[in-house]
Structure 1
Amino acid sequence: MPLTELVRHLNHRHALRGGEGRLDLVEGRAVLRVGDWLLGSEFQPVVDARSGHAIGHEARLAVQAGPAGLPSQALFLALEHVEAVIQVDRLCRHLHALNFLVEPARRGFLSLNVHPCTAAHWGVHPVTVLDPVLMRCGLLADQLVLEFPDDGFGSALPLAAAIDACRREGHRVALDNFGRHSADLRRVEALMPDIVKLDSSIIGHSGHLSLARRVLMGLAAEFRRMGVVAVCQWIENPLQLQVARDVGVDWLQGRLLGRPTGRCVPVMPEIPLREPAAA
């Protein structure tokens, strides 16, 4: 289906729900208009630690125009009710999927972020990550990785329900920014994501990596035991990269390895997910 038809279809479905914002096309790429905001997609590669090759991308919002140069997070803070947040969050995933679909070689996985309000909604309502028409245009269910943030506190049951619902749809799930608020491994075992993405506070900073090395080594061993893929994010310098590789994390992400850009980089076939180690 041509991109123009896809955009028209998605806007029609969104309008039927009374949602805020609309998709548009600018120079052959999809953009999202919400009030004064104009948003596009950027893709940051995720790299296999052993081979050094990209195996997928995380999609991120890129502000092309907006009030006073604010970051994209400010858009969600400005929305007046939870339903609007969920609606715009859905449009963001549609935006990224459209731009991924027009990439010449859309291989590897595509990671899409899920707002906490959406995760809570999915815990009690049927999950539709992407419009079925988008899925029929070449995206495979297991090609999508849904990234869920977690503050590590409170009941894990609503998030567990959302994760289970995504799995029933054939998608994989990642727990994002682990260690920012809490590093409770029992919570990871309760949620059992396919992937855990470590917060920037875990890797540390250049010149202060001895503690990061010890912490990462312990976490990598535990995730290996669980069969969970460990991703070290925020790799910004060669020292961080060396530490991450030394301790045995699986995947890497950061500006040293690839900045977010409007285009995807070539990827190799993805490394299969690990099975849990025998007890």
Structure 2
Amino acid sequence: MIDLDPPGFQPPRPMAGDAGLRRTVLYGGYTVFSVFAPVFSVSHRRAIGYHASLRAHDEQGRQVPSHEVFTQAARRGDLLEMGRLAESLHLGNFHAFDSRDEWLFLSLHPAALMDTSYGDALLAGLKALGLMPQRVVLEVPEQAGGETTRFAEIIDALRKSGFLISLDGFGAKHSNIDRVWNLRPDIVTLDRCILAQASQHAHIERVLPGLVSLLHESGQLVLMGGLANERDALIALECNVDFVQGTYFAAPSTEPLQAQAAASLMDNLSAALRERVAARNWAQATRLAPYVTALEQASEQRAAGASLTHASAALLTLSDTARCFLLDHTGRQIGDNVLPLRRTSLRARRFRPLLHSEGASWARRPYFIEAMRTPGQVHLTPPYLSINEAHLCITASIAVETGQGMQVLCADINWDAAAHRV
């Protein structure tokens, strides 16, 4: 532990690095310098920006956690000044890259954001270097500023000055989509915990594309960071995020990345993703093949005049068929659900008010729309949450001409159970 008041202590000051090639900051016996982690555009196959962070060495040249520097600065009351020096350090070192188009991602301390002079000081620093504010992405911590109107006004003023705004750490703790709508960031960075959970839980991985789609529809680009291996990267690509970052692609460095360093890696990932999706589709088709065959046979029997109960008997013997039901040409359910002769699950009993569906309208459901669009062909939905028992299911459907007109025969397949056995 370094003494808070060592002999000959000097306040933080910028200082040129070796041969003037890299700017550093000296503070309390530490030498602090910038490193830059490339941020890649999946579509462009190259780095479109760099996220700046600090590294520190002690007087013996050993690397120390950068938070120790800020802890010391906080104890001395120098936190705001140290933060400004760090930003000046990043700006100067980024400018030395001599890049023309890339963004610089700067993480902002909430205290700095609430300082009324912060924006002016940052703009002055950019002007001195000849950098435009449009080159800088200010990363705002998701929990910073609470819900205060003043905070939103500060963010809006920074945006109007030309800076891009990134909401960092979305999805952690008490994240709320209202935060995105109120601050209107240009970029949303998903919290690392979302990726960690998606890597461990298939149902979380399944909903991630929907979350990214929601953010896209709200007008935000999406960045996923912390990607450490190929599985992480494949999850990110399949979610359709715009930007990726992590040691799998490139470790933080004091030097800029070679222009095309990521292109081949992105191409290999895209090929691996195609293989992954193809393998999953094959496995799904294999699991569903018996249900497709049974539904086709049931539709033939229904067209010949058999009752729903008789036509679906074989289909209901398959292990994961949850129910069969019949719709008229308007999407209205004819009669109630026909269930397999198995003991009703506890989950089904808990959702009992939703189990009986005679007269319900399913006209908006994809399984009805697609079946009516191509009569005689079996349509399979992606896995979705069944309203009947609030569990994951796939609905197989087929439109068939009967003596009572066009009808759609449907079967819900319990996908939670099927996925658990694979």
Q: TM-score when scaled to structure 2?
A: 0.54
How has the CA–CA distance of structure 1 residues 69 and 211 changed in structure 2, closer, same or farther, with 3 Å as cutoff?
farther
* 1:35-184 paired onto structure 2 within 5 Å: 35-65=28-58, 70-80=64-74, 84-122=78-116, 125=117, 127-130=119-122, 132=124, 134-151=126-143, 154-184=146-176
Offset, 1:256: 0.5
Q: Distance in 1 between matches of 2:57 and 2:100?
A: 24
Aligned twin of 1:6: none
How has the CA–CA distance of structure 1 residues 223 and 267 changed in structure 2, closer, same or farther, with 3 Å as cutoff?
farther
Aligned twin of 1:277: none
Report % sequence identity: 27
The residue matched to 1:127 in structure 2 has which SS? helix
Aligned twin of 2:280: none
Over the residues paired in the alignment, what is the CA RMSD in angstroms? 2.6
For the Cα contact (< 8 Å) 1:203–1:209, is it kept in 2?
Answer: no
How has the CA–CA distance of structure 1 residues 98 and 88 changed in structure 2, closer, same or farther, with 3 Å as cutoff?
same
Q: Residues 45-89 of structure 1: CA distance to partner in whole angstroms, max 9, x if unpaired?
A: 000122321111111101122798541123223334796211111
Q: Distance in 2 between matches of 1:22 and 1:105?
A: 26
The residue matched to 2:105 in structure 1 has which SS? strand
Please, which of 234, 238, 241 is the counterpart of residue 242 of structure 1? 234
How has the CA–CA distance of structure 1 residues 137 and 121 changed in structure 2, closer, same or farther, with 3 Å as cutoff?
closer
Q: Which residue identity does 1:31 align to in structure 2? A: T
* 1:10-25 paired onto structure 2 within 5 Å: 20-25=11-16
Q: Distance in 2 between matches of 1:267 and 1:196?
A: 25
Aligned twin of 1:251: 243
1:26 pairs with 2:17: yes
How has the CA–CA distance of structure 1 residues 246 and 121 changed in structure 2, closer, same or farther, with 3 Å as cutoff?
same
Q: Distance in 2 between matches of 1:138 and 1:153?
A: 30
Q: Which residue identity does 1:41 align to in structure 2? A: S
Offset, 1:214: 2.6
For the Cα contact (< 8 Å) 1:46–1:251, is it kept in 2?
Answer: yes
For the Cα contact (< 8 Å) 2:199–2:232, is it kept in 1?
Answer: no
For the Cα contact (< 8 Å) 1:85–1:117, is it kept in 2?
Answer: no
Ranges in structure 2 where 5+ consecutive residues have no aligned partner: 1-9, 261-422
Query: Which structure has more RCO (C-alpha within 8 Å, separation ≥ 6)?
Result: 1
Structure 1 ranges of 4+ moved more than 6 A: none
How has the CA–CA distance of structure 1 residues 178 and 101 changed in structure 2, closer, same or farther, with 3 Å as cutoff?
same
Aligned twin of 2:225: 233
Q: Distance in 1 between matches of 2:199 and 2:212?
A: 21
How has the CA–CA distance of structure 1 residues 74 and 53 changed in structure 2, closer, same or farther, with 3 Å as cutoff?
same
Q: TM-score when scaled to structure 1?
A: 0.80
Offset, 1:129: 4.8
The residue matched to 1:240 in structure 2 has which SS? helix
Larger Rg: 2
Q: Which moved more, 1:176-185 or 1:253-262?
A: 176-185
Aligned twin of 1:214: 206
Q: Which residue identity does 1:97 align to in structure 2? A: L
